[in-house]
Structures are given as structure tokens and as C-alpha cells.
Amino acid sequence: MKIDTHVLEKGIVWSAICVIFSVAFFYVLKQSFTISLIGEGGVVTLMSRIFLPIVLFSAFLGAIGIHGMIIPGRIFRYVTILIASVALFIFFQATAWSGIALVLFFGGVTAYHMSIQGDAKSRVTVVPYYTLTSGLGTVILILIASVSLLFYSTYADKTYEIDGTRAALRDSLVATTISTLEKQVTGFSGDQTVDQLIANMLTGRMSTNLLPEFTDFNLNNDPERTAQIDQLKATINEQQQALQTSENQFAAVATDQLGSVEKQLIDQVRSEVSQSIGIELQGDETIRDALVKITDRRIMTFITPYLHYAPIVFSASLFLLLYIFSFLYRYLTRGFGLLWYGVLRLVHFIKIREEDVKAKRISLEH
């Protein structure tokens, strides 16, 4: 049977479009697997990286649905779906788990394509609204399992990569802690060294700001008393400024001016603190760096026992989450399918032709 060259070209074009959607889907899927929930980007960026794979997934299935309606040949079907499935190896490492994911993806898309073709042939008229959902529920379940296996394959064969999220969480906690201490504790700074902090604490140069603030009273009837209070305010302000200047000077040269006994005491305190927290503190490192080390150790201590089970737990959670929202994929797939159908008719890529079809019907025998 001779195939029209023009029809063949259109078949190749739409098959290529399906493959492009598949490549785009696997690309954004890989990006979403490396998403950091804490850090830069904002809520809009976070939500876009979560829902963009869903949109492209539905756009791909909608394109495959139209492919099944307009291109009946088996060769086109298997070649197109095979290329679209193998595209996952462009972004995901080839492992046993990703291989199983590929088989599931290929099988699911093929089943959907065949279901579409069967439904289209069984109808006496073209009804894409119903044809596009033929067998879609089961196929989506298979493809969700494939996506979950891809997630598992990303982390199963190596240490679970949480460095980005852990670092963002750690930096956020450290910044909040330092900001709070700098506001509440006089003389504290995240940029001062560990030894300077110990020296300030030992010499009483660091304390919470407890100096009372004078409130304004109605003293118009007592000018002399008002003058005395104003003078007292001025004196306290001068003393506060002098104290702040003295503290700044002390913080800069405290370590150098301490005597040998005081230095030994600082070393002893630093050593005891290091033993209690299980981290070796250096006298010349900043408080900020010390808090980073301490926070990082605490985070790792908490999550290390669960690292082995993390890929399984997160993969199962991803499967359940995607399954819960699977109704979105059905609506989006149907919506994109109808969109592609309308566009292709608009540009005269496809057309509806009428045929006389002999139909068989079952009835009671006369």
C-alpha cells in the first residue's frame, strides 16, 4: 500500500512534537527532583517548579492522544513512544530502577495510544472529548509509578543528597539566632571571635540591655524638677555612649591585653564548651562560623539514622501525593488534547471526512 508523502511528513512532524514534549517533561522533572524547599527563589518559583512538570506531563499525554487518533500505523506508534521513553536517560542516570521506570513509561504510553486508537475506530463519529479519556485512569497510575521510580533511582544508589536544603536550613537558623542575640544582648556580634565572646562574658562586658527609659510626664507645674530630669537624661546618654565606645575598644584588643591567667581561663572555658557540644572550637574563628558548625552537626545528628530509608519513604510519599491529585492530570490531559485538536484543525493539519461504514448489530433471530 502506497503512503501519501504529504501524510507521511505530517505524521513525522506530530511524532517529533510528541518527543519534544517528552524531553521537556523529563527535563523539568529532573529539575523538580533537585528543588530546595528552603532558600532563594520565593514561593512563585517553588510552585512553578512543582506544577510545571504536571503541565508538561499532561501536554505530552494530550499530544499522544491526538497521535493515536490521527496516526494509525504501528511503526509510528512504537518508534515515537520508544524515542519519547528513552529520552529519560538524557537527564537520569541509567540504573536498574530507571530501566524499570522506562519500561513502565513505555508500556503505559503504548497502552494509552492503543486505547485511543480502539476507541476512535469503534465510534461512528469523531468525539475527542470522550476518546481522549479512554483508559486514561489506569495509564496515569502506571506513569505515576514510573515517575516515583525515577525519583527513587535518583537517590537510591548514593547518599541522599540533602546538602542544598540542609545548608539553606542551617544558614537560616544561624542568621535568625545571631540577629536575635545582637538585638537582645549588649556587646554581642556574630563577627567577633570565640575568645572575644568568652572574654566579654567573663569580664561582665556583655549583658542584656536593662537600662530603663524615662517616660514623659506632665511636669509643666514643676520647671525645676523638669530641668533636673533633663540633666539626668543627658548624663545617662553620655555614660551610655562612653560605655559603648569602651566596649568596642575592649572587643578589638581584649585578647591581646589579657594576662596569662586570663588567657588560660579563656582556653579552659573554650575547651569545656568544645567537649560539651562535641565540636572543636578555635579561638580565632567567628561566632557565626562556630554556630554554622554546631547547627550543621545537630542537623546531621538528627537525620543520619533515617538517611537509608529516606529514598523509599519519599518515593512512596511522592506516589501517594501524585495519585491523590491524579484527577488534575485527567482534566489537563483532556484539555490539552482538545487544544491540540482545535489547533490542528485550524491550521488544516487534519480534517474530518465522512465514510460509509458497514456495521454489525446483535439482535434476536427471526
pLDDT tens-digit map of 130-146:
899 888 888 899 999 99
Which residues in 237-345 belong to E strands, given as ranges?
Answer: none
320 dihedral zone (left: phi>0; alpha: psi -120 to 50; beta) = alpha
Separation CA 97–CA 100 (nearest Å): 5
Q: What are 208's strand-pairing partners?
A: 185
Helix H or strand E segment including 185: strand 185-186
Confidence of residue 210 (pLDDT cuts 50, 70, 90): very low
| Cα–Cα distance for residue pair 317/309, rounded to 1 Å | 12
Pairing mode, strands 185-186 and 207-208: antiparallel
Q: Which three cell numbers stand for residue 75?
A: 511503526
Report which of residues 79 and 241 the model is more confident about: 79
Look-up: residue for cell 579563656? 266
Contact 349, 12 (CB under 8 A): no
pLDDT of residue 42: 46
Calpha distance 22→30 (Å, rounded) = 12
Terminal CA-CA length for the chain: 41
Rounded distance, CA 264 to CA 215, Å? Answer: 45
Per-residue pLDDT, 209: 43
Distance, in Å, from the CA atom of 195 to the CA atom of 42, rounded to the nearest integer, reads: 38
- Other C-beta atoms closer than 10 Å to the C-beta of 324 total 9
The confidence score (pLDDT) of residue 214 equals: 36
H/E element, 164: helix 163-184
Higher pLDDT, 211 or 11: 11
Amino acid identity at 341: Y
Comparing 358 with 320, the larger pLDDT belongs to: 320
Q: Is this structure's pTM higher than 0.75? A: no
Greatest mean pLDDT among 177-186, 258-267, 322-331 lies in 322-331
- For range 87-116, the mean pLDDT: 92
Contacts of 339 (CB under 8 A, 6+ apart): 62
pLDDT of residue 217 exceeding 70, the answer is: no
Which of 98-107, 217-226, 344-353 has the lowest average pLDDT?
A: 217-226
Asked if pLDDT for residue 50 goes beyond 60, the answer is: yes
- Among 32, 56, 78, 82, residue whose Cα is nearest residue 333: 56
What is the C-alpha to C-alpha distance for residues 66 and 87, in angstroms, rounded to an integer?
20
CA–CA gap between residue 316 and residue 148 (Å, rounded): 7
pLDDT computed for residue 338 by the predictor: 94
List the grid coordinates of 244.
Answer: 559603648
Residue pair 341/152 in contact (Cβ under 8 Å)? The answer is no
3-state DSSP call for residue 193?
Answer: strand
Q: Which residue has the higher pLDDT, 28 or 189?
A: 28
Residues 6+ apart with CB under 8 A from 63: 14, 17, 18, 21, 336, 337, 340
CB 31 within 8 A of CB 46: no
